[in-house]
Amino acid sequence: MIEPGARAPDFSLRDQDGELVSLDDLAGQTSVLVFYPLDFSPVCTDQLNVYQEVLPDFEAQGARLYGMSVDSAFCHKAFRDHQGLTMPLLADFEPKGAVARAYGMYIEARGHNERGFVVIWPDLVVKAVHKSPTPLEIPGANLIFDALAA
């Protein structure tokens, strides 16, 4: 797993609208990459809805959240629209889970992401990493707020 203090691994992924988002696009802002297994699954739906509820509070602290799973950009678009989410969702679709692997957030045996997050400083250095003990345990928003405040 990626460690705090390391440079964040490079990536370029499509968001729900097909726009390319790269690590370099995150420079100059505090970013939180939220890794989750799959769109439309019950626990993932709960997780992202919780984050959506407090998204203005994250933004007030200068942090931008990005959801990331192995789903396609088309699936992300449908999920985002269905749930009323406003955070960008990045498609780590092909090669499947390549970015999650680089961050240590992929479960090979299951073929999907771990549930966790990585906080990246404006200089693209990793500030904090959290991986839940199981994919069924949602990292509470309070853990992200704590990581941002530390």
How far CA 134 is from CA of 32, 50, 51, 115, in Å, comes to 20, 18, 19, 7
CA gap 29, 133 in Å, rounded: 28
Annotated catalytic residue: which of 21, 38, 44, 105? 44
Catalytic-residue membership of 75: no
53: Cα separation from own chain's centroid? 16
Give yes or no for a cis peptide into 133 (omega within 30° of 0): no
User: Catalytic residues, which ones?
Assistant: 44
